[in-house]
Amino acid sequence: MKSTLGIIISDSKLTIIGFTMSEAFEYVDSLWSFLRKNLPKTSWSSIAIEVAGISSLNKLSFKWAVSIDIDDDSLFEEILLNLTENNFLTNKKIEII
């Protein structure tokens, strides 16, 4: 069974939740390559990528999240559209939270 990734979209930040630690860093590598290939170099400084571990108090286990913080609204929309068209660069099921 494929695991599901949760997508949280806010004003200028896109967060993808549900990775294992190794998957999160592999995803960042894919995301980095995708963005550098598809965006002009002048826009690179407007984008920050963050990796975080998330745990509840019920059990000491982590799910990992990758966030993309984008300073430019039109660039945010372009990236969101590109990632949506490419299933967020993953073969996992996607759920908008």
Place of tokens 């995803």: 27
Cβ atoms 94, 87 nearer than 8 A: yes
Q: Among 3.30.420, 2.40.420, 3.30.70, 1.10.287, what is the CATH number of 4-96?
A: 3.30.70
Q: What is the pLDDT of residues 82-92, one digit of tens each?
A: 999 999 999 99
Return all residues near 58 (Cβ < 8 A) that are at least 6 apart: none
Q: Where are the beta strands (DSSP E) in the chain?
A: 4-9, 13-19, 47-54, 63-70, 93-96
pLDDT tens profile 1-49? 568 999 999 989 999 999 999 999 999 999 999 999 999 999 999 999 9
Please give the model's pTM, rounded to 2 decimal places.
Answer: 0.87
Q: Is the dihedral of CA 57, 63, 64, 67 positive or negative?
A: negative
Q: At what angle do helices 21-38 and 73-85 cross, to 10 degrees?
A: 110
